[in-house]
Amino acid sequence: MRILVCGGAGFIGSAFVHQRVAAGDDVRVLDALTYAGREENLDGLDVDLVIGRIEDPGAVEQAAADVEAIVNFAAETHVDRSILDAQAFVTTNAVGTFTLLEEARRRGVRYVQVSTDEVYGSIDDGAFTEQHPLEPSSPYSASKAGADLMVLAAHHTYGQDVVIARGSNCYGPRQFPEKLIPIMVLNAIHGGPLPVYGDGQQVRTWLHVDDFASGIHAVLEHGAAGQAYNVGGAKEKVNLDVVSRIVDLTDASPSQVKHVEDRLGHDRRYALDSSKLRQLAGWAPRVDFDEGGLESTVHWYRDHEWWWRPLVETAEYRAYYRRVYDRDPDF
């Protein structure tokens, strides 16, 4: 299959590209190579890389030539950044999605939108099904929810062949060091503080990036047009417990854990019911968070300083870290 993977040089997108190239698909990547997208994530792969933004119709038209499907990973993703400056999130996540949808409609190809559990908001008990209303809490999740609605509207209005894959919190190799797990791993290894928002009792369901990538492929292959599919992890974890486990895996000191002022609009709990996708395609997560998933991720960051060191030494990253944590990074 000839697939255009937008955002394919990023964290989740590159995992999907690695899987599809290994399976024999012909992959073209469109990526703006912003702070979280890196050519190094595609090292060793025979892919055609087009550098450009998904909100640029010219770049999208060039990249989409002769493809049979478009899979969109390209997004601004970090909630903290969206709280500090939401404009880029609206531009990329909403306008960019619209631009891709128009190109997919013009070419008559299948379109897959990669989304997030955060579009549902927070849930106290049970798990979100695809029938739950969208109640986003942050500028990030609102921009993703808006994109999801445009995708569904494209099907209802124009009959486009579109599907949505909504994932739970991902972890694994090549994740930019601003999300919970990589930032805690690097701080723990280097003796820095481990800043935990509020009481740290927020609950997330963790999904290894390779499992999300395989779930997205299942949606691409088997998903019914106009439908959304939850791709959720199997392990529900309290944030503070995840940080404590990272302390154990890195031989850090528990005294490094520092509770800081809670994030604005912080969702308390996410959980996804993935039975719709399981019944459709037999998909299930294979990497166990407790039985090697988190530990292998910690080892990856230990062994790949060449990958993350150039990122954290940039002036932009240091300025961002100071804005969020009120201090310089210690690694």
Domains of the chain, CATH where assigned? 2-171+207-231 (3.40.50.720), 180-204+235-268+288-320 (3.90.25.10)
Query: Average pLDDT in the 86-110 region?
Result: 97
Query: Average pLDDT in the 202-206 region?
Result: 96
Q: Are 101 and 156 in contact (CB under 8 A)?
A: no
How does residue 194 score in pLDDT terms, banded at 50, 70 and 90?
Answer: very high
223-275: per-residue pLDDT in tens? 999 999 999 998 899 999 999 999 999 999 999 999 998 988 899 999 999 99
Query: Average pLDDT in the 298-315 region?
Result: 95
Q: Could you give the percent of the chain with pLDDT greater than 90?
A: 88
Query: Average pLDDT in the 294-316 region?
Result: 95
Residue 325 has pLDDT above 80, yes or no: no
Residue 316 has pLDDT above 80, yes or no: yes
Two tokens at 238?
């309290």
Mean pLDDT computed over every residue of the chain: 95
Give the C-alpha distances (Å, rounded to integers) separating 260 from 197, 199, 200, 240, 324. 5, 8, 9, 12, 10
H or E stretch at 13: helix 11-22
**Which pLDDT does position 263 carry in this prediction?**
87
Query: Average pLDDT in the 27-51 region?
Result: 96
**Which pLDDT does position 321 carry in this prediction?**
85
142-173: per-residue pLDDT in tens? 999 999 999 999 999 999 999 999 999 999 99
Is 117 assigned a catalytic role?
Answer: yes
- The answer for residues whose C-beta is within 8 angstroms of residue 203's C-beta and 6 or more apart is 236, 237, 238, 239, 268, 269, 270, 271
Cα gap 207→172, rounded to integer Å: 9
Two tokens at 105?
């409609």
127-139: per-residue pLDDT in tens? 999 999 999 999 9
Please state the φ and ψ torsions of residue 308, each to the nearest 5 degrees. Answer: -95, -25
- Select which of 55, 76, 118, 148 is catalytic: 118
- Select which of 31, 103, 120, 140 is catalytic: 140
Query: Average pLDDT in the 80-92 region?
Result: 93
- The answer for residues whose C-beta is within 8 angstroms of residue 16's C-beta and 6 or more apart is 5, 8, 71, 73, 213, 216, 217
Cα gap 71→241, rounded to integer Å: 34
- Select which of 31, 55, 117, 210 is catalytic: 117
3-24: per-residue pLDDT in tens? 999 999 999 999 999 999 999 9
At 18, the amino acid letter reads H
Is 120 assigned a catalytic role?
Answer: no
**Which pLDDT does position 234 carry in this prediction?**
84
How does residue 88 score in pLDDT terms, banded at 50, 70 and 90?
Answer: very high
Q: Is pTM beyond 0.85 here?
A: yes
Cα gap 285→299, rounded to integer Å: 21
Query: Average pLDDT in the 27-56 region?
Result: 96
CA 206 to chain centre: 12
Question: What value does the CA radius of gyration of the chain take, rounded to a whole number of Å?
Answer: 19
Is 140 assigned a catalytic role?
Answer: yes
